Structure 1
């Protein structure tokens, strides 16, 4: 089968012919139709310190996908050959306290497809049936291929009650943009999305036109708060940028007793003024991946109930042109990039 592989420990990916995976009794075999390029895939392409310490080579990368089931293991029930699907890319064990309590997303033994296990940048993918997410007919393969990052946005945005709240989101990458759309859909009063990248803020205005976008190099967030008629500040913060400056600004802009969900990952260690967090009685929650499987249920329900994030996909390429797809992602001027494997 065709696949994109991190064949050796250096920058880039390589198109290869790889053996099609063989499934076990509890697995399904999926013919991949569409894949999304993720920020994680960019780290692996660049072969940065995280990738070099995490990803064994050779490794078929990729974990955002949509496809159809073409083979089913003998123990699998409830799924059918020909069924359209996406899937949860975090593979868990069953022995940990967290898994046994049903908190699957907190299993410390989690492995990732395309990171620790052969992934979805291929014509075929082996996946445990437990991880399969059937796709309703009204959700396209393109959207199915970006449900993984949309799930990150949903998990982060729904960490706290948003109904009637004022929400600040820092970082207008694709996940931050989708989180802004989710926050509005979930009933937030004011949603403000900040960044320094004018192209991404312009994209955000197209995906979520009722969200207030702010280029913090040109506007003072305090003026924005005043213009929106807010008395104290934001109730909830969603930190998507991984920027220490953005987090510091968020802490200052929150009300007493505000809440912050953190998805962005700062590089290395960052200095934090913990006294400001303590004296403002701020709650911090770290977010990793998606809640299995409540996040999937919620986001599919929202998509079927009017949430539209389709414009966050800005580029589509045939897999033969994958290098152009990665160049678009690395440019900082794209939203989501989808590769076609059909």
Structure 2
């Protein structure tokens, strides 16, 4: 089969032939239909310091995918051949304290497909059947392929109650925009999103954000004035990893405000903890998805009318992977999808 492989320790990827993975007990083989490019994939393709310290070549990369189950292993009862599925790419041990307590998203022994073990940028991927999410209601393969990042957005946005709240989202990448859409759908009063890319802010505006703001030209005080806000933001969703964005968010929160932080900083951040203490702010780190409550929430959100297809702005065949990665790296569009159907 064809697969996109990190062949050696260094920049670049190679589209090459590898063996179709064998299905063991408790596993299922999925024929991949479409895949999404994640920031993690960009790190691995570029072979930066993070990739060099976390990835061992050779490796089939990729973890955002949708497909159809074509084979099941011994003792598999939770999926069937023909099921349309997405995959939870975090494989947990099932034995640590958090796993045994039902908090699998906090597993200390988590391994990731496409990072520690062979992933989904391939014609077929094998993984534990318990990590597959069966789409019981009709859904396009493109939207199903972005359930992983959609889950990050849902996990972040629904960490704190949204009904009637004023929400600030910093970072209008695909996950930031998805989080803003979820916030609005969950009943937020005002949703403001900030970014330095006017193209992404334009996309966010088209997808229903109340106010998209470039901090180079407008301030958060402008947002307060335009929206008639009398106090600061109730909920903050930090999706950018930017020190400036986080500090600005902390300064703009109301007393008792709550911040969910998904954006991963590249270095340590200095913040004003006096404001955090005196204004009694809550800052909570978010990683991945809750297994599998977030997945349930994702499906219900779509069934209740949330349409996330608009966040997908670019589609390529897998043979055009270099152009697809360049587009994703540009930082100006939404989600980039690669097609693996023959």
Residue matched to 2:158: 158
Gaps of 5+ in 2: none
**C-alpha distance in 2 between matches for 1:213 and 1:78:** 43
Q: Is the 8 A contact 2:238 2:260 kept in 1?
A: yes
In structure 1, the residue corresponding to 2:139 is in which secondary structure?
A: coil
Match of 1:30 in 2: 30
Cα drift, residue 338 of structure 1? 0.6
**How far did 1:51 drift?**
0.5
> Residue deviations 1:45-88, cap 9 Å, x none?
11111100001100100000000001101110032111111110
**Aligned equivalent of 1:260:** 259
* 8 Å contact kept, 2:87–2:133: yes
With structure 1 as the length reference, what TM-score do the two structures score? Answer: 0.98
**Aligned residue in 1 for 2:124:** 124
The Cα of 1:314 is off from its aligned counterpart by 0.6
Q: For the Cα contact (< 8 Å) 1:55–1:115, is it kept in 2?
A: yes
Q: Distance in 2 between matches of 1:219 and 1:258?
A: 22
Deviation at 1:32, TM superposition (A): 0.4
**Contact 2:43/2:51 (8 A) holds in 1:** yes
Instruction: Specify the SS of the correspondent of 1:22.
Output: coil
Tell me the alpha carbon deviations over residues 121-160 of structure 1, each in whole angstroms, 9 at most, x when there is no partner: 0111011011010013421100000000000000000000
Distance 1:118 1:265 in 2: 24
Give 1:211 deviation, angstroms: 2.5
**Contact 1:92 1:110 (8 Å CA) reproduced:** yes
Map Cα deviations across residues 296-317 of structure 1 (whole Å, 9 max, x no partner).
0001110111111111111111
Quote the Cα distance in structure 1 between the aligned partners of 2:222 and 2:205. 19
The answer to whether the 8 Å contact 1:260/1:284 transfers is yes
* 1:200-239 equivalence runs, <5 A: 200-207=200-207, 209-239=208-238
Distance 1:337 1:11 in 2: 20
1:223 Cα shift?
1.9
Q: Do 1:138 and 1:304's aligned partners in 2 also have CA atoms closer than 8 Å?
A: no
Contact 1:156 1:179 in 2 (8 A): yes
Q: Is the 8 A contact 1:163 1:188 kept in 2?
A: yes
**How high is the TM-score relative to the length of structure 2?**
0.98
1:141 aligns with 2:146: no
2-structure distance, mates of 1:78, 1:46 = 37
How many residue pairs are counted as aligned between the two chains?
A: 341
Name the CA distance, whole Å, in 2 between partners of 1:272 and 1:188: 27
CA distance in 2, matches of 1:299, 1:165: 21
Residue 116 of structure 1 aligns to a residue whose secondary structure is coil
CA offset digits 1:195-233 (Å, max 9, x no partner): 1110110111122x2421111111111121122111111
Paired residues for 1:66-145 under 5 Å: 66-145=66-145
- Which portions of structure 1, spanning 4 or more consecutive aligned residues, are displaced by more than 6 angstroms? none
Q: Compared with structure 1, are the counterparts of its residues 330 and 225 closer, same or farther at alpha carbon in structure 2 (3 Å cutoff)?
A: same
User: 2:164 aligned with 1:180, yes or no?
Assistant: no
Q: After alignment, is 55-64 or 266-275 more displaced? A: 266-275
Unaligned 5+ segments in structure 1 are none
Q: CA RMSD of the aligned region, Å? A: 0.8
Deviates more, 1:79-88 or 1:168-177: 79-88
Quote the offset at 1:269 in angstroms. Answer: 1.3
Superposed CA deviations along residues 240-265 of structure 1, whole A, max 9, x for unmatched, are 00000000000011001100000001
Indicate if the aligned counterparts of 2:32 and 2:340 stay in contact, CA closer than 8 A. Answer: yes
Instruction: Measure how far apart 1:337 and its partner are.
Output: 0.6
Alignment partner, residue 334 of structure 1: 333
Contact 2:78/2:129, CA 8 A, preserved across alignment: no
Distance 2:110 2:253 in 1: 33
